[in-house]
Structure 1
Amino acid sequence: MDGYVLGIDIGTTSVKVCVLSLKENVVVAEQSKDTQSNVPSDQGIDGNKQDVPKIISAINTCVAKFSKDLLQQVIRIGVCGQMHGVLFWHHRCGKAWERIEKDGTLIRYDVKPEQVSNSYTWQDNRCSKEFLNSLPVPDSHLQIHSGFGIATMFWMFRNRPEELEKYDHAGTIQDFTVSMLCDITQHYISEQNASSWGYFDCKKYAWNLELLDAAGFPVKMLPEIKRTGEVAGLLADTWHSIPKGTPIGVAMGDLQCSVLSTIEKEDDAVLNISTSAQIAYVVNQLEEKELMGPPKEKPMIHLPYFDGSYLAVAASLNGGNSLATFVKVLQQWILEFGFSVPQASFRQGMGEAY
């Protein structure tokens, strides 16, 4: 098959973009950029928020560096990103993004900060164990943890209701990006990202809507679920020379995509070491009892993968989280002294020390 696919990965600290040749199945061009998007949280080191406009700007910067001739041959766009996190937006005063044009031609989309919240990442620890225990038990085999989208929304609903009332949409940063590029007010989420939020029934491919509604949760903010691989919409306009009408898939989870791009044989296992660490392998068939709630403490969890299969994952988050917490404490101290050090400098210094 001729043509190219543009792939966008929105990570915790950086954005990576590549162009894949469908005919040769090789990456022909790639770019990356540190987003430097972390912002101070009113929860101190327990909070972890990121500036959405900076993330979107990093995406635009990366895509703009590819040659126009190459981008004109893109026939599909795929987006994945950091799982578990959540941001909020509304379209009451027009769409939550704006077109930046030059001579009538779209250059990029920019976020309207007054209509979009910060992104609360998977590293957000505002939900204490006591708070999590006060939430309804999910009708799912998957547990709920601090940093998971619905846990964060529950915390906002109970502690900052006036903040949550400003918005009517919720999604991951990658879900927001897909809606923006399609220029649509509908918002979708794949089962991969939905399962990372909690309160998602993998057997029914559905939210625990009745359970959440009974707890007073704002269920109308939840995105509609689409199967991984489905098209979420079409590129609304020519964007950095990529043709208008290019199909864009529903956003995927970065863990699943990292395994998909690494695995070579069906019985391979993949060890990922980055901000967190996981070892994972693909399970084509899973016994129904493994997907039945309520969730139990298990050393391994099963997450939706592709084509109805599951990813068996054993995760060890301590190493990356400990290092990230140490970096955040240092950044907080330096900010209090009136200075600012770019994230890239911290990452480089911490990486050398580590």
Structure 2
Amino acid sequence: MVTVRADRYHRLLENGRRMSTSECVLGIDIGTTSVKCCLVDVSSREVISSQKKDTYSDVPSELGTEGSKQDVPRILSALQMCVSRLPREATRKVTRIGVCGQMHGCMLWKHGQAWEQKPDSDRFEIREVSNSYTWQDNRCTQEFLSSLPVPESHLSIASGYGCATLLWFSKNKPEKLTRFNRAGTIHDFLVCMLCGLDRPVMSVQNAASWGFFNTITKKWNEELLQEAGLTSDLLPTVVDSGQEAGQLENSWYGIPAKTPVIASLGDLQCSVLPLLSGNDVAVINISTSAQLCFRMSEDFVPPEQPPSSPQPIEYFPFFDNTYLAVAASLNGGNVLAAFVRTVQQWSLELGFQVPQSKIWQRILALGAEPQSQSSLVVEPTIFGERHSPQENAMVSNIDLGNISLGKVTRGLCKGVITNIHSMSHDPTRETNHKTYEQPTRNLYAQKLGKHILPVSLDSRGDAAYGSALAAINSKAP
């Protein structure tokens, strides 16, 4: 049975602009398809105002479908619009800023020429920067990855990881690296810009997601990277997750200058931070991709080297020197999005134009109907998996009674959740998960996830909210 928590969180979201606040923090999430910010009251830890905007920032890649890059000025313009819409009576009381974003990806910029905040203006203009190369970027083939040294870390390297992308440029397009002298994730860039930093400051969470980073020593594999062709001057400074990176250089949409800004964090860690109430709780997060994760015990120490063969479960830094066990699937909401695009293309081929929004609305309604249950089996791995990049999708047990649009939609959704659940077995951990928490922002997961696992829907599973909580708990440098 699904329990939807209609708690004070929802009421405060609706009435936040009318609330008077004491001290609050700003949480920011730069996602793959949208940006979001929220103001959280420090004492109650409740959201008092929130803004979200789709970025529509994808740009064509010279590598076709193998590349995945986004327009940085467009993304940060959308973010600044969101922040500008927050109530000024609350932003003036912001005491800390927390930032998180899509893990693994990277961008480059030129120090001193990357941004400008004009006098008497809140808005930053973005100038000498590259595109943001996302976690979905597939330019690093298995052959290329195999040519790289084995990391001195328990985490393997994969296409879309920051260090892998930068090494690809060093070998295939070295002129790209000569144009710029700084690198980081797009959320590292945001922190650097807000604080006017000379060099980007990255949290352990983001550094681990880049690859070639030892989470025990908390240092880059500098010698290995230099041997492979990446100079260490492009590597950001790394601090503990939750530590301050700097202070707001100038006032920003009412937020006072000198407000502390914590080093940017991973969106996954921030999404699950409000939800992991115990070691018997696992969190399913379904957005563009999908993850199922749970907290390891405090005495867990990861191995010194990556596994000899890719594994479906990895261990990423969390907070306070603990780790999350993460089964990270490349197949989540993007599977449904691909299905919607296919249905739209079929409609065009039949002579009809149907907006994707209408298709989404209809398939979600059909898939949620009780009669949409069927024996159709969908293995939805159309995008492969990091531990099995050549894996393809498959549909089986087809009969004349289970190929309606609703039943196929239901089969796809069930397949996404079954796939991520099957990846999450951890042989080092005996504790069974009694509860599966699931953020409520994904509509098809809300409606259909309950048919596979005992899911509790929780509105607090939000990366912007989690980054605000991390800011409240942050440490002085």
**TM-score (norm. length: structure 2):** 0.66
Q: Does 1:58 align with 2:73?
A: no
Give the match's secondary structure for 1:165: helix
Residue pair 1:203, 1:291 contacting (<8 A) in 2 also: no
Q: Does 1:110 align with 2:125?
A: yes
Q: Choose which of 289, 302, 307 in structure 2 pairs with 1:295.
A: 307
Could you say which residue in structure 1 is the equivalent of 2:116?
Answer: 98
Could you say which residue in structure 1 is the equivalent of 2:149?
Answer: 136
Provide the C-alpha distance between the structure 1 equivalents of 2:207 and 2:244, rounded to a whole number of angstroms: 16
CA displacement, residues 297-318 of structure 1 (integer Å, 9 cap, x when unaligned): 2232110000010001112223
Residue pair 2:103, 2:206 contacting (<8 A) in 1 also: yes
Could you say which residue in structure 1 is the equivalent of 2:389?
Answer: none
Could you say which residue in structure 2 is the equivalent of 1:341?
Answer: none
Q: Does 1:307 align with 2:327?
A: no
Q: Does 1:39 align with 2:55?
A: no
Q: Does 1:86 align with 2:106?
A: yes
Residue pair 1:284, 1:308 contacting (<8 A) in 2 also: no
Q: Choose which of 19, 24, 27 in structure 1 pairs with 2:44.
A: 24
Could you say which residue in structure 2 is the equivalent of 1:247?
Answer: 260
Query: Could you tell me how far 1:347 is from its partner in structure 2?
Result: 7.1
Range with bigger deviation, 267-276 or 322-331: 322-331
CA displacement, residues 152-192 of structure 1 (integer Å, 9 cap, x when unaligned): 11111111111111111110010000000111222111110
Residue pair 2:249, 2:258 contacting (<8 A) in 1 also: yes
Q: Does 1:316 align with 2:329?
A: yes
Residue pair 2:250, 2:257 contacting (<8 A) in 1 also: yes
Provide the C-alpha distance between the structure 1 equivalents of 2:68 and 2:357, rounded to a whole number of angstroms: 16
Provide the C-alpha distance between the structure 2 equivalents of 1:317 and 1:22, rounded to a whole number of angstroms: 35
Q: Does 1:184 align with 2:202?
A: no
Provide the C-alpha distance between the structure 2 equivalents of 1:221 and 1:63, rounded to a whole number of angstroms: 30
Letter in 1 for 2:29: D
Could you say which residue in structure 1 is the equivalent of 2:3?
Answer: none
Give the match's secondary structure for 1:243: coil
Letter in 2 for 1:216: G
Query: Could you tell me how far 1:119 is from its partner in structure 2?
Result: 0.1
Q: Does 1:285 align with 2:298?
A: yes
* Equivalences, count: 335
Residue pair 2:35, 2:54 contacting (<8 A) in 1 also: yes
Query: Could you tell me how far 1:67 is from its partner in structure 2?
Result: 1.4
- Structure with greater strand percent: 1
Letter in 1 for 2:134: T
CA, structure 1 residues 125+321, in 2 after alignment: closer, same or farther (shift >3 Å)? farther
Residue pair 1:56, 1:110 contacting (<8 A) in 2 also: no
CA displacement, residues 307-331 of structure 1 (integer Å, 9 cap, x when unaligned): 0100011122234454566789999
Query: Could you tell me how far 1:278 is from its partner in structure 2?
Result: 1.1
Which residues of structure 2 form unaligned runs of 5+? 1-20, 345-354, 364-408, 410-477
Give the match's secondary structure for 1:152: helix
Q: Does 1:149 align with 2:167?
A: no
Residue pair 1:140, 1:295 contacting (<8 A) in 2 also: no
Residue pair 2:244, 2:262 contacting (<8 A) in 1 also: yes
**Cα-Cα RMSD:** 2.4
Give the match's secondary structure for 2:271: helix
Could you say which residue in structure 2 is the equivalent of 1:173?
Answer: 186
Could you say which residue in structure 2 is the equivalent of 1:335?
Answer: none
Could you say which residue in structure 1 is the equivalent of 2:236?
Answer: 223
Residue pair 1:190, 1:227 contacting (<8 A) in 2 also: yes
Q: Does 1:163 align with 2:205?
A: no
Query: Could you tell me how far 1:349 is from its partner in structure 2?
Result: 4.8
CA displacement, residues 188-218 of structure 1 (integer Å, 9 cap, x when unaligned): 1111011111111111111101111122222
Provide the C-alpha distance between the structure 2 equivalents of 1:262 and 1:17, rounded to a whole number of angstroms: 19
CA, structure 1 residues 133+321, in 2 after alignment: closer, same or farther (shift >3 Å)? farther
Provide the C-alpha distance between the structure 2 equivalents of 1:38 and 1:328, rounded to a whole number of angstroms: 16
CA, structure 1 residues 135+330, in 2 after alignment: closer, same or farther (shift >3 Å)? farther
Q: Choose which of 63, 67, 70 in structure 1 pairs with 2:90.
A: 70
Query: Could you tell me how far 1:268 is from its partner in structure 2?
Result: 1.5
Query: Could you tell me how far 1:54 is from its partner in structure 2?
Result: 0.6
Residue pair 1:45, 1:329 contacting (<8 A) in 2 also: no
Query: Could you tell me how far 1:134 is from its partner in structure 2?
Result: 1.0
Identity of aligned residues (%): 49
Could you say which residue in structure 1 is the equivalent of 2:468?
Answer: none
CA, structure 1 residues 145+323, in 2 after alignment: closer, same or farther (shift >3 Å)? farther
Could you say which residue in structure 1 is the equivalent of 2:473?
Answer: none
Letter in 1 for 2:81: T
CA displacement, residues 21-58 of structure 1 (integer Å, 9 cap, x when unaligned): 01111001000000111100000011110000011101
Provide the C-alpha distance between the structure 2 equivalents of 1:351 and 1:136, rounded to a whole number of angstroms: 47
Provide the C-alpha distance between the structure 2 equivalents of 1:202 and 1:227, rounded to a whole number of angstroms: 10
Provide the C-alpha distance between the structure 2 equivalents of 1:351 and 1:20, rounded to a whole number of angstroms: 32
Q: Choose which of 258, 261, 264 in structure 1 pairs with 2:274.
A: 261
Runs of 4+ in 1 over 6 A off after TM superposition: 325-331
Query: Could you tell me how far 1:262 is from its partner in structure 2?
Result: 2.1
